[in-house]
Structure 1
């Protein structure tokens, strides 16, 4: 009703050049960046990692009021403020855009980095659709607001892998929205009685969800294709207490962890239902474990997964391999481990078993290559609370966060083999996060070709390492030479001063020239000082005269 009769075109905004938004990828040594919050949250720094010592790229006081986040592809750094959030990027981390949402506490960025979702419990009661707001990152425009009473299960909205769809679950309802219209898909929600959990495939627009048993109807795990809403696979389950859905990062497999009750409903055991997404008709394999499950984790790029099971101090870790068009095979079980978390390398093959917090920071670095389990190193970072792999799988950061533990706050940098490279002590260290990298432009064939010719590249890398070491040695020699030159310069200056003050010394000493007194070496007396070191006693055989 308030629309004007005549349309006027909006004013043209001047173009603002933010520079190269992916400049950090141009580092010749292919070093990664990571962020560090210290001083109890007062200081935020961006550092460039290296084998020897990290260098500061940018450091600012009160850059954020709570914590920070990187966008999924590493393009933006998100900081939190009382009035909203700010996005930073480019070579010098200049401010890209601000989003006004007072009291913002949580954010989520779409996988395509086109949209950002913010949540604030301080929304205006006059406008109930302000608790969650979805923004367009490039334009800064508000796309849509939603009501939300509780964000304990964040993110409330889950995005498809390409950012074309996002979905929200409510009681007996699954609402799927599409972009860029931000309206309901086909203008209606899906009615799913009892829906408990849902998640998207990381590689395709397939959505999975599960519903519990109701009366004589079994529990169901369902996979549906979007936007057609066609069911592509359904699995019925019985005697179900709870389910958890876990997608492998490449989208090749989905695991449904099913906690089941025995027929007497006194004992509980766990089944892992493995959906093979790339095979015809999506076959499902089942593995039964009759122990308490502590943790489950997929190998991000590969066919393996790991399970922590049992109760302390008898926790075991089992590694499984999914054979193409074959069975799921147990590779090996390692018993009596001090671990409560599993962290796979983003590149696969290598895994860190971590005993965090109450387990005092015990770590095991394991190689799972060639279907063999090899222990590379067992070590500890006392009271460690966090583990972070870099996106290339070369380095691992372990940290003791001031937010969780008030003493021994520091972060350590390790190689993927478990070799300690750096100990970084920062006052009241809080958080360290690696900057993500976008997907590699290389296809699988090119990657296989590089691995095949790795010996050729190894020679080149060894030569570069030798040059780097010689350069470091040269810099050390030059620094020491400069220190020697500075010392000789000071020494020469003091000698000149000593000579100019000779007359003053003679006047103070009654005309005696003490500079010319020669030391009488003949009258030197040698003094010998003896120290008692210790005493030993031994029995000697009286017949052993020799």
Structure 2
């Protein structure tokens, strides 16, 4: 799955939030926003480039020609650290001065605490005959003094780094089915513990105090798995939890807080679908709010959940799901759909740091098509294509994007491109033959450094032009290639975008269309009634170009938009019938499922009005 803080399994990406400035806070309002820096790491070394639209080597940073294992920025973007192979180096981005150089040749991972006061380093755990216990392989360093604050044993790379609150008042580690909480970077004293049997995952909330933590405990011996939300330090038991959600069919979960720490989205996955319906296993999406509400997000298309992304506003989230061509839908905090982007070749969603633009993309085994959408108007801005991309990052300015093809995912045609969101390529760099590109990473900046600008629909000027995807011809078997295309010959039913928000412009337009055809349907019905009155009973059924459809056949009479609405209403009513059967069988329903059932009368009335005259 793709997100600002998630690791992408099929592209080996660590995608960071775009925060932070190198300028002091009291000067920031007087200065123009600085130009972001792009870090490039590969077999030819590690370097920094000045940001778009010009991408020259950053003069304040001296290129390291060694083969760096890892590189990262601090959350505020003022510090840059990397493993050079024999040392761990930390420099100030503003002037390139060295902050620390630590003799740690085996280091494979490093991370800064949110305020840049602590540097965490990790090396693979090893043990020998002379030292069967091994050495502590997780170190926490005070960057101001250069002293080691604490060392821990951390055998697994997954979840290796402590999880800090944004103000560093709290840090958390998962140790033997317990969460250990430390306060104010004092790692010699465990301030609090949260003990849950076999707790395997946790995520600390972003934002100010009080901090909250989401924890996941996998099910065992027939018991369901569950996710609970707690507020630190209130860990008195299940009754002290802010919210609780239990579910079956879960081998692992991905938990994602929104920026305001009011709700968590939980993607629960099983590797094997026992019904045999899916090669990809089975996924479900759950919503938990700190207010105690929880719900299952109802996804209208079967298939895997590829990606889930919160809007930076924390009021909406986008889900990419379903067998290819996949659907993408934006939901509100009630888990009701707001906008459906229809179907397409996509498996990832990326909101801009300002939240005003959404990019839907198809990477990995797809061709790299990107759809750039204006979120406020739900209007498509551009549709560029970045074939073979393994990395995608929004620039903190919300104007530019970088895509890259990196090893080890792809060892050929390595390189990166910097784009304007209107689809033009501003800078392109191909890695020389025989060399490899491993990672590209934007310098983060604090929220608010780059305010959202009005969205442009005209392509930005560039000498490299754009890569708008050409309409692809669908594959047709040889026997059908000389015959006209019909609905039955299509491999997939393509669904166009649809605004689902009540009172939206799309709904108004559809209502106008319905009103325009209402008189025709009423006249048609009146004509039928007159025919029935005048003609004998046996002959009262004249030849009709629009016979009443069978129960299992969708109506194809009237306006196509009306037919589509009828189809959608019948689908919703069928889902309500299934919910009623579940309720009658004694199965408890979620809050959003009960709300759907309450809309049955309204949906029936809408269906009756639309079918008038059919």
TM-score (norm 1): 0.68
What is the alpha-carbon distance in structure 2 between the residues aligned to residue 70 and residue 92 of structure 1? Answer: 15
Q: Secondary structure at the match of 2:365?
A: helix
Task: Tell me if 1:311 matches 2:319.
Answer: no
Alignment of 1:148-227 (within 5 A): 148-151=154-157, 153-186=158-191, 189-203=193-207, 204=209, 205-215=211-221, 217-227=223-233
Question: Could you say which residue in structure 1 is the equivalent of 2:287?
Answer: 274
Task: Tell me if 1:365 matches 2:372.
Answer: yes
Cα distance per residue 1:295-325 (max 9 Å; x no partner): 111112341111111223x211111122xxx
Residues 150/421 of structure 1: CA separation in 2 closer, same or farther (3 Å cut)? same
Question: Could you say which residue in structure 2 is the equivalent of 1:496?
Answer: none
| Residues 401 and 431, structure 1, Cα contact 8 Å, conserved in 2 | yes
Greater C-alpha Rg: 1
Alignment of 1:46-445 (within 5 A): 46-51=48-53, 53-58=54-59, 60-66=62-68, 67-89=70-92, 91-121=94-124, 128=134, 130-151=136-157, 153-186=158-191, 189-203=193-207, 204=209, 205-215=211-221, 217-230=223-236, 231-242=240-251, 243-259=253-269, 270-277=283-290, 281-289=291-299, 290-312=302-324, 314-322=325-333, 327-370=334-377, 373-427=378-432, 428=435, 429-440=437-448
Higher strand fraction (1 or 2): 1
Deviation at 1:402, TM superposition (A): 4.6
Q: Secondary structure at the match of 1:436?
A: coil
Q: Secondary structure at the match of 2:107?
A: coil
Residues 157/206 of structure 1: CA separation in 2 closer, same or farther (3 Å cut)? same
Q: Secondary structure at the match of 1:185?
A: coil
TM-score (norm 2): 0.61
| Residues 318 and 334, structure 1, Cα contact 8 Å, conserved in 2 | yes
Residues 171/37 of structure 1: CA separation in 2 closer, same or farther (3 Å cut)? same
Structure 2, unpaired ranges of 5+: 1-20, 461-614
Cα distance per residue 1:50-92 (max 9 Å; x no partner): 43x2233236443553242111110111021333311011543
Deviation at 1:263, TM superposition (A): 13
Q: Secondary structure at the match of 1:335?
A: strand
Moved more, 91-100 or 260-269: 260-269
What is the alpha-carbon distance in structure 2 between the residues aligned to residue 248 and residue 118 of structure 1? Answer: 27
Cα distance per residue 1:476-516 (max 9 Å; x no partner): xxxxxxxxxxxxxxxxxxxxxxxxxxxxxxxxxxxxxxxxx
If asked which structure has higher relative contact order (CA below 8 Å, sep 6+), I would say 2
| Residues 32 and 49, structure 1, Cα contact 8 Å, conserved in 2 | yes
Deviation at 1:184, TM superposition (A): 4.2
Cα distance per residue 1:391-447 (max 9 Å; x no partner): 2322111112254333333322222333333333453444321111134489xxxx8
Cα distance per residue 1:435-484 (max 9 Å; x no partner): 11134489xxxx8xx99xx89xx9xxxxxx9xxxxxxxxxxxxxxxxxxx
Alignment of 1:475-486 (within 5 A): none
Moved more, 347-356 or 226-235: 226-235
Q: Secondary structure at the match of 1:220?
A: strand
Residues 63/72 of structure 1: CA separation in 2 closer, same or farther (3 Å cut)? farther
| Residues 165 and 176, structure 1, Cα contact 8 Å, conserved in 2 | yes
Cα distance per residue 1:253-280 (max 9 Å; x no partner): 2112234899997777644332333xxx
Residues 64/228 of structure 1: CA separation in 2 closer, same or farther (3 Å cut)? farther
2:47 to 38, 45, 48: 45
What is the alpha-carbon distance in structure 1 between the residues aligned to residue 176 and residue 449 of structure 2? Answer: 42
Alignment of 1:4-19 (within 5 A): none
